[in-house]
Structure 1
Amino acid sequence: MDLELRGGGFLLTEVKPDQIFIREQLNEDHMQLKRMTHNFMVKEVVPKMEEIEAQAEGVIKGFMRQAGELGLLGLEIPEEFSGLSMDKAATVVVGEEVPRGGSFAVSYAAHTGIGTLPIVYFGTPEQKAKYLPGLATGQTFAAYCLTEPGSGSDALGAKTTAVLNAEGTHYILNGTKQFITNAGFADIYLVYAKVDGKLTNFIVERGYPGVSLGPEEKKMGIKGSSTRQVILEDVMVPVENVVGELGRGHVVAFNILNVGRFKLAAGNLGSASVVLETALKYASERKQFGVPLNSFGAIQHKIAEIAAKTYMAESVVYRTSGLMEYGFHGLDLTGDCRKEAGKALEEYAIECSLNKVYASEVLDFAVDEGVQIHGGYGYIQEYPIERMYRDSRINRLFEGTNEINRLLVPATLLKRAMTGELPLLQAAQSVSKDLMTSGLSGEAEGLDGLYQLVQKAKKLCLMVAGLAAQNLGVAIKDNQFVLMGMAEMVLQVYAMESAVLRALKVRDLDVSAAHKTFTEKAATLGTFEAFNILEQQAKEVVCAVEKGDSLSTVLAGVRKLVRRPTLDIIGLRQEIARYVIEKESYPTS
């Protein structure tokens, strides 16, 4: 596998525009799927929003069945098991539309992602034939049961046990699972329990004796989704219901969370677009001092920032969909593909964590500004932005907190460096040597200049990572202050590069001149703002790991790398805002 296509490899090489997938490459099948999902959400689900929020009996379950009839539950399930066998981009276009349905999106995502995919990727052919057709068509629904009252981020600290009976035919499960989405109506539960102290995944059917549920949790947001405890008391589960390998449930759990994080990012991206659409509508209709809100610079500033950050997140998510599609190419999901699937899912663990963190934080920024644009009305339940604000907060907790996901990034990079999978430390040493012995090339203009800025950002990230690893040694794994700073740098680099490569690629596509201009301006604003964050984090980490004369020398190198052309950021925001206000929605073409 070429370095630029390896998980984390983007840091170590110059990726070219033709090596990434972008939204503008969606084909007609993708667009038809998007239109169908949009119509289903707007015409069927959205009118029932109040009933969904009140958890009216059977409403979400009914919509889930309808989604199954439309094929939306089986996008990643092989055709042999009643699915559609579509690519990862298809899951993104659908994932962008379902957030219009509020809490329905949570139930949908939990079922189609972490609820179904353990069987798709790690199930035996017999398990797939038994369970996948129902999961694809909406005849049965799934829930993922990993979290416990005493173990959230520490998944390996689970206390639920599974003991083989004397006959060797069943495992007896005991324990309690906490915060389980879809628990109230799921037909099967993907339960993680320890066999002789080692985590193992089991398919537990709702009807097995000893399975019971706690009451519905009273939540801040996503109120329409079912969230309950799943209680297991001497539940006898057939040995053939073990998913993956006995004692290797962590392989299933962590790799499924990887793809879950990617899918969550797609949903967050769609939500941010809906927030912008909602805020634009309000700002055009609401008047103050005799003119629409959207005529005020302070409001336009917010609109431009939401649009630019959404563009950045969109670039990240679609790029990652292309990487994951590449990683899964040729994988036969109809048979026993546990080892191959595990390897493919693990490959892009870094990118999946980056997706989840970046998109969830973009959404939180968007809803906060969306409420602000609404003013006092944003605090009133009659206005949808109030629900969007409450619903968004869970995304920084779902699928591993953003803190855990940030820490996973440098930890995985350093692990791959130590095993020789990625020449990270060699690249870092090369950057430091170059800075001491030579200057930097002249600066280009426009998108080519942005591309150069991305290469500087990578060098800065590598230099700082190398210094931290060299100076802290093995102690770096316990220094979360430094690791968080390193993670933020990698995050900003991936976002910058995704945005710039996309704009460069769009430049040569048959799309409107206005869209080409928007992508360039959004990439420029997003990249310069990301670089500011990168510079700050770099200085903080360097000052933490270097002292004395060495610190002064290193900071001089940092100053070389952070030089960038001046830019009229205010004028750029004004231009983006004017275009977005004219479009009356987030610009997709």
Structure 2
Amino acid sequence: MSLNRIINSKSFDIGKSLLAFNLRYNGKFVPHPPQYRCFRTQARSLAYAKDLFLGQINKAEVFPYPEIGNEELEELNQFVAPVEKFFNENVDSKKIDEDAKIPSETLDGLKELGLFGMQVPEEYGKLGGLGLSNTMYARLGEITALDGSIAVTLAAHQAIGLKGILIAGTDAQKEKYLPKLASGEHVAAFCLTEPGSGSDAASVTTRATLSEDGTHYLLNGSKMWISNGCFADIMTVFAKTEVVDQEGVKKDKMTAFLVERAFGGITSGLAEDKMGIRGSNTCEVVYDNVPVPLENVIGEVGGGFKVAMNILNSGRFSMGSSGAGMMKKLIEMTAEYATTRKQFNKKLSEFGMIQEKFALMATNAFVMESMAYLTAGMMDRPGVPDCSLEAAIVKVFSSEGSWICVSEALQVLGGLGFTKNYAYERYLRDCRILLIFEGTNEILRMYIALTGMQYAGKILTGKIKEMKRGNLGMAVGMMGQKLRSSFGGTKDFGLTGKDGLVHPSLADSALKLEQNVYLFGSAVESVLYRYGKSIVDEQLVLKRVADVIINLFAMTAVLSRASRSISIGLRNHDHEVLLANTFCAEAFFKNNYMMTQLQKHAPENNDASIKKIAEQILEKRAYVCAHPLDRTF
């Protein structure tokens, strides 16, 4: 082969790209050199997921994939080993499920390991909290998730129960409450949901009335589905309070309170008999003239809704690492069975449809992990980063991925998986709640889509107004963009090529991401132009928008992670490339289909038929069709 032919060959281009990539990542051309491996040393704006709504890729937010420093990694490994040992030797998940209770000695062991104070700063308490970063917290969550009841008990305590003190509490509140909460001497609960207000948090009826002498509030009302509710010592309770606005008008607004059971007037109902996570405690809590000191307000009077949302938003990301931890355990268990069980003189593992299930489980676990640790790294940066959109995305994908994959793992075992002799049916029951709590996936899809659309709308408002006024130049520009989109147009975001941040072996997937993002920006603009403010009522449209953005963030996460793995030579990095390319290929085609349904003159998307079917059923409150054996003569 001549020199010119070698230089012009595709393999040479790939080789040049590979060399350039490794130089950029490991040499002097690295955008973020090795000393910046921990994202907490990088102060940047955080708008990656939101910028996708504008058809933009903010590379600096997600490349390179976040790493933690050597000291932090060494510290983390010191925590991981004893926690894994404890769960392997001291946690009887079958008994916890059957007895619907976590044994006191198990809880004591969790406390001794410091698992009740994982994210409480070290300065609080006799032994202090562990003061873990979000990344370290996510890693331990992989282990605690192996028992759903324990995972929920710990999460209810610290991911939401005491989190309000950490993010909005006063120094006095932290000094008073965190030491005993960190040690586990006191247990926390998060009390928001009421019998008449589930997902609609703003409609709570529990009320806190200022006493006549102005020294305390009197709390009255009830909360339901409260994890740790039967025994929690400290509760973050949300109640309506009367506030006076700047114009002197009295209004009811929600306020967050730190409430001690020792204040009196608190009654807990019987523990709920649940389908899954049976060892966790869930009950109704009633408040009858509970006196709450003024100093126990969290944040500002009337600012409770913001506190509640900040608490919930801060913890959702960890569902990705928890789900991945569960998936990895299930893959290990199921692979052992599939490689030893024989049917039709062949191992189960040799059948294509069984192999498909393992590919699905591994891909989902890889995506969950990749998104969770990317988001955790972003959250660990300095300041108060807003990763609420990314965290919600991780929660939706991971909860649904876990539910599907546990079902597939059970299917591999057939009848054995359906028995209580194996853990599969318990995992299935336990993970069903993931689609419901910390915000139902339906509500979170609305949140994801509307948050991003609002962000894009503020920036695109002027352009959209000009188009509606008949600005010919603007209209022609948009028509041209739509025409380019219809022919598979794209934009070079710099992910591939000579200066690309994605490894050449992932270049095709990176191009798919770039094309999807470019088309998504056009689709969002089209939707905003068509619906305007009424978009809030178009839930089926918003669902498609949310599903596309979930896939786009997932594609980004796996490409960033796999590129890092190759560059530093992690073991089995070729397997990561395979998983990343497989996921991106499937997500690309799903995204394209959903985005065509967002266009004004899209093929029939059945939205009108779906609404009509539902209306007819709900009007009758029954299945409408006649029985197939009925006659008219």
**TM over 0.5: same fold?**
yes
Of all paired residues, the percent bearing the same amino acid is 33
Deviation at 1:275, TM superposition (A): 2.2
Question: Does 2:166 correspond to 1:120?
Answer: yes
What do the CA deviations read for 1:15-62 (whole angstroms, capped 9, x no partner)? 2663432699982323332223211211111x3541454134x61x54
Question: Does 2:110 correspond to 1:64?
Answer: no
Matched residue count: 525
Partner of 1:178: 224
1:228-239 paired onto structure 2 within 5 Å: 228-239=283-294
Question: Does 2:575 correspond to 1:518?
Answer: yes
1:234-383 paired onto structure 2 within 5 Å: 234-326=289-381, 329=382, 331=383, 344=385, 347-383=386-422
Distance in 2 between the 1:534 and 1:517 partners? 25
Partner of 1:107: 153
Q: 2:538 aligns with which of 479, 487, 490?
A: 479
Distance 1:90 1:361, change over 3 A: same
1:91-240 paired onto structure 2 within 5 Å: 91-196=137-242, 197-240=252-295
What do the CA deviations read for 1:492-520 (whole angstroms, capped 9, x no partner)? 101011111211121111322xx110110
Q: 1:77 aligns with which of 107, 114, 120?
A: 120
Equivalent residue letter for 1:9: D
Distance in 2 between the 1:484 and 1:142 partners? 34
Return the structure number with greater helix share. 1
Distance in 2 between the 1:9 and 1:24 partners? 29
Distance in 2 between the 1:108 and 1:540 partners? 42
Q: Contact 1:432–1:463 (CA<8 Å) still a contact in 2?
A: no
Distance in 2 between the 1:372 and 1:24 partners? 41
Distance in 2 between the 1:122 and 1:90 partners? 22
Equivalent residue letter for 1:80: E
The gaps in structure 1 that reach 5 residues or longer are: 332-340, 552-589
Distance in 1 between the 2:378 and 2:565 partners? 18
What do the CA deviations read for 1:182-235 (whole angstroms, capped 9, x no partner)? 112211111111102211111111222210011111111111110000111111
1:462-473 paired onto structure 2 within 5 Å: 462-473=521-532
Higher mean alpha-carbon deviation, 316-325 vs 7-16, is at 7-16
Distance 1:421 1:546, change over 3 A: closer
Partner of 2:560: 501
Deviation at 1:284, TM superposition (A): 2.8
Deviation at 1:304, TM superposition (A): 1.1
Partner of 1:446: 505
Distance 1:313 1:48, change over 3 A: closer
Distance 1:354 1:38, change over 3 A: same
Distance in 2 between the 1:355 and 1:424 partners? 32
RMSD, aligned α-carbons: 2.8
Distance 1:93 1:423, change over 3 A: farther
Q: Contact 1:66–1:138 (CA<8 Å) still a contact in 2?
A: no
Question: Does 2:57 correspond to 1:13?
Answer: yes
Partner of 1:459: 518
The gaps in structure 2 that reach 5 residues or longer are: 1-42, 243-251, 468-473, 498-503, 605-633
Q: Contact 2:481–2:522 (CA<8 Å) still a contact in 1?
A: no
Deviation at 1:178, TM superposition (A): 0.6
Deviation at 1:281, TM superposition (A): 2.5
Distance in 1 between the 2:365 and 2:575 partners? 12
Q: Contact 1:431–1:462 (CA<8 Å) still a contact in 2?
A: no
Q: Contact 1:135–1:141 (CA<8 Å) still a contact in 2?
A: yes
Partner of 1:384: 423
Question: Does 2:77 correspond to 1:31?
Answer: yes
What do the CA deviations read for 1:133-170 (whole angstroms, capped 9, x no partner)? 11111111101000001111100010100001111111
Distance in 1 between the 2:350 and 2:463 partners? 49
> Which of structures 1 and 2 has the bigger CA Rg?
2
Q: 1:535 aligns with which of 592, 598, 608?
A: 592
Deviation at 1:6, TM superposition (A): 5.0
Deviation at 1:262, TM superposition (A): 1.4
Aligned-partner SS, 2:214: coil
What do the CA deviations read for 1:433-462 (whole angstroms, capped 9, x no partner)? 556469558998731121111111111211
Equivalent residue letter for 1:379: F
Distance 1:456 1:431, change over 3 A: farther
TM-score by length of 2: 0.78
Deviation at 1:290, TM superposition (A): 4.1
Partner of 1:55: 100
Equivalent residue letter for 2:516: A
Q: Contact 1:424–1:462 (CA<8 Å) still a contact in 2?
A: no
Distance 1:490 1:385, change over 3 A: same
